[in-house]
Amino acid sequence: MIETYVLTWMTFVPLVGALVILCLPSAAHGLIRATAVAATVPSLLLSVWLLGRFDPSNTAPQFVHRFGWIPSYNIEYFLGVDGISITMVALTALLSFLCMFASFGIEKAVKGYFALFLLLETGMMGTFLALDFFLFYVFWELMLLPMYFLIGIWGGPRREYAAIKFFLYTLLGSVLMLVALLYLYFTPDPHSFDMTRLGSLVADKIPLEVQIVLWIALFIGFAIKIPAFPFHTWLPDAHVEAPTAISVILAGVLLKMGTYGILRINYGILPAATLAPFGGASVAFWFLAALGTWNIIYGAFCAMAQRDLKKLVAYSSISHMGYVMLGMAAFTPQGINGAVLQMFNHGTITAMLFLLVGVIYDRAHHRDIEGFGGLASIMPLYTGVTGFAFFAAMGIPGLSAFISEVLVLLGAWRIYPVLTVIAASAVVLTAAYMLWALQRMYLGTPNPKYVATGWEIGRRELFTLAPLAVIVLVLGVYPLLILDLQSPSLIALAEKVVASAPQTTHLAGVAGGR
């Protein structure tokens, strides 16, 4: 019984919570916050249960809940979880839960804030769980509205600009996805939105050139979300203006939807186009590997130039998502596993970073890196946690990002040696901007303004950070916890893409040599 409905509950319990909150009196802030937290708990507990019961060796969707939604158009309500999505689902549930606590500082229109936040969680869960393309699209778009309002109403000074920019960029991507979706839907007879079968249904019905066009249309939709250069410009604006918890969700979960979408849809439905020859190499080379490497370098240099700590973290996200793109373009077991592990690790680490930025912003009301100095002597505990998070982001051995970045580089080495060398050397850049920021903010002589403030990180703030820190530490030592869950599904996916490559490319050796 629970097997059938677990995913539906995980998706819609937050929505029920949102409706309950709408019925509460607006002034009862405590009650609203408690309800919001309570509404995220079932999804979190169920996701833990899911992790325990999930059978990694089975690459087919599990815990499927499926019935006809619009029979005449063959649109289904079809939720399921497999190795590609399971870690993302857990990440969504965890970050949503923690972010509710991080949102307790919100004082303006509390009711609306938490109701929209819970609606957002429903959208995120649904996006990762939907296996019907139409349903996926509906959830994908459903996230836009709450995000627009959450940035636009509760954000910083330039929130309106940031909100509409986010909205327009994402919508531009999703309408291209919609057109590609309709084309794919109408190709097989009977028409189908079933993402698990669509790939095999359309494989020999669409000419390769058209497949490449569809691939690129879908890719643009997802690249905007990742965000990949040159579609990234909404991200710094959105991050800087968004309230802390929303930044966490944005970087922790929403960015992953871009790479998740490429894995699920571009790879899953159009595997032949993924490795089709394109511009002297393959589609995956140009759009994922080369662009991903450029993302790494470009994001790192931009981060280095920032004076605003939040903007620095935002650009570091662009840089770190580049590793995901590079890793998934390699189609080696290490590469694709490293990529998805990096998605999870970046989700936890960047969440920590944004929460920590929020801590100092709540106190100083600015985020100017140059405006602090010597915070270590004022807020030793805070500095300790920040140092931990910064080191995690740098990819220090023993912490989780190290494993995923090394896996990505190992996996990509055999396929794209030049790009891998470039990507690996960017680690130095990451260390540079991270350490430099650390040095300017936390070391040296304290800014006299802040010496006698008696600031320190609060208990609630520590509570939101601690679980993430534990995860970062545990996965740094024992990454198999995650790798075991995702590996069979991901390797099957990579093999499928390599097997359907239209001709012997340089990747063919990988399939043979495995």
Partner 1 sequence: MSTSESLRLFGPELVLGGALLLVIFVDLASAGRDRRGEWPATIAMIAAAATIVLSVGFPLLDWPGLAAQAARPTWLFDRMLVLDPFAVFFKTLLGLSLLAAVTMSLASREIGQSRNQGEYYTVLLGSTLGMFLMASASHLLMAYLALEFVSLTSYVLTGFLRHNRRSSEAALKYLIYGGVASGAMIFGMSWIYGLAGSMDYARIGAALATLPDGNRLALFLATVLVLTGFGYKIAAVPFHMWAPDVYTGAPLPVTTFLAVGSKAAGFAMLLRFFDFGVGPGGPIGGVVKVPLVELVAAVSAITMLLGNMAALSQTNVKRLLAYSSIAHAGYALLGVAVFAERGVAAVLLYLAVYYVMNLGAFWVALLVVNETGREDLDAFRGLAWRGGAVASVTLAVFLFSLAGLPPLAGFIGKLYVFAAGIQGKLYWLVVWGALNSVVSLYYYARIVKLMFLDQPTADDRPVRFPAADLGAVTVLSVLTIYLGVRFEWLYQTAVAASRLFKG
Q: For the chain, give percent helix, strand, coil, nearest 5.
A: 75, 5, 20
- Tell me the window of 79-87, 151-159, 307-315, 331-339 that interacts with partner 1 (CB under 8 A): 151-159
CA angle 303, 304, 307 (to 5 degrees): 85
The token duo for 339 is: 């990529």
In angstroms, the CA 474 to CA 470 distance is 6
Q: Are the C-beta atoms of residues 129 and 86 closer than 8 Å to each other?
A: no
108 CA to centre of own chain: 27
Token pair belonging to 85? 């999505």
Kindly state the smallest distance separating residue 135's Cβ from partner 1, in Å.
Answer: 10
Q: Among 44, 89, 163, 427, indicate the residue that binds partner 1 (CB under 8 A).
A: 163
Sole binder of partner 1 in the list 38, 45, 168, 466 (CB under 8 A): 168
Minimum distance between the CB of residue 111 and partner 1, rounded to whole angstroms? 10
Q: What angle do CA 158, 163, 164 make, to 5 degrees?
A: 110
Minimum CB separation from partner 1 for residue 328, in Å? 27
Q: Which is nearer to partner 1, 6 or 115 (CB)?
A: 115
- For partner 1, which is the closer residue by CB, 145 or 422? 145
Nearest CA among 472, 485, 474, 405 for reference residue 84? 485
Q: 76 or 405: whose CB is closer to partner 1?
A: 76
The number of C-alpha atoms within 13 Å of 11 and in the hemisphere containing its C-beta is: 24
User: Which of the ranges 161-169, 305-313, 317-325, 440-448 carries the binding residues for partner 1, by CB under 8 A?
Assistant: 161-169
Task: Find the shortest distance in angstroms from Cβ 113 to partner 1.
Answer: 12
Give 465's Cβ-side CA count (13 Å radius): 25
Figure out which of the listed residues 167, 234, 267, 388 binds partner 1, where binding follows CB under 8 A. Answer: 167
DSSP 73: G
Question: How many Cβ atoms are within 10 Å of 107's Cβ, its own excluded?
Answer: 9
- Residue 132 is given by DSSP the state B
How far are the Cα atoms of 15, 290, 360, 388 from residue 368, in angstroms, in the given order? Answer: 37, 33, 10, 21
The residue (of 250 and 490) whose beta carbon lies closer to partner 1 is 250
Q: Which residues contact 295 (CB under 8 A, 6 or more apart)?
A: 226, 228, 229, 232, 318, 319, 321, 322, 325
Q: How far is the CB of 189 from partner 1 (least distance, A)?
A: 12
Stretch that binds partner 1, among 159-167, 241-249, 371-379, 391-399 (CB under 8 A): 159-167
Residue numbers 109-148 binding partner 1 by CB under 8 A: 137-138, 141-142, 144-145, 148
27 interacts with partner 1 by CB under 8 A: no
Asked if 207 is part of the footprint of partner 1 (rule: CB under 8 A), the reply reads no
Residue 88, amino acid: M
Interacting residues of 75 by C-beta distance below 8 A, sequence separation 6+: 68, 69, 132, 134, 135, 193
Looking at the Cβ atoms of 122 and 282, the one nearer to partner 1 is 122
Distance CA 485, CA 483 (A): 5
Q: What's the CA gap between 369 and 209, in Å, rounded?
A: 49
Count Cα atoms within 13 angstroms, Cβ side, for 266: 31
Residue 69 CB, nearest distance to partner 1 (Å)? 9
Work out how close the CB of 386 gets to partner 1 at its nearest, in angstroms, rounded to a whole number.
32
> Which residues does residue 7 pair with via DSSP β-bridges, in sequence order?
none
Contact window for partner 1 (CB under 8 A) among 178-186, 308-316, 322-330, 471-479: 178-186
From 174-182, 224-232, 336-344, 461-469, span contacting partner 1 (CB under 8 A): 174-182
Site string for partner 1, 45-84 (x = CB under 8 A): -------------------------xxxx-----------
- Taking the complex as a whole, the smallest distance from the CB of residue 142 to partner 1 amounts, in Å, to 6
Q: Does 406 bind partner 1 (CB under 8 A)?
A: no
Which range, of 182-190, 260-268, 372-380, 452-460, touches partner 1 by CB under 8 A? 182-190
Q: Is 480 in the site for partner 1 (CB under 8 A)?
A: no
Count of residues binding partner 1 (CB under 8 A)? 30
Asked whether position 175 contacts partner 1 by CB under 8 A, the answer is yes
CB of 141 to partner 1, least distance (A): 5
Binding residue for partner 1, selected from 60, 105, 158, 160, defined by CB under 8 A: 160
Cβ neighbours around 5 below 10 Å, total: 14
183 binds partner 1 (CB under 8 A): yes
Nearer of residues 161 and 361 to partner 1, judged by Cβ: 161
Q: At 32, list the tokens.
A: 């609203």
What 454-459 contacts at long range (C-beta under 8 Å, 24+ apart), as own/partner pairs, is 455/363, 455/378, 455/379, 455/382, 456/379, 456/380, 456/381, 456/382, 457/359, 457/379, 457/381, 457/382, 457/385, 458/359
Give the residues lining the site for partner 1 (CB under 8 A): 70-73, 137-138, 141-142, 144-145, 148-149, 152-153, 159-160, 163-164, 167-168, 171-172, 175-176, 178-179, 182-183, 185-186
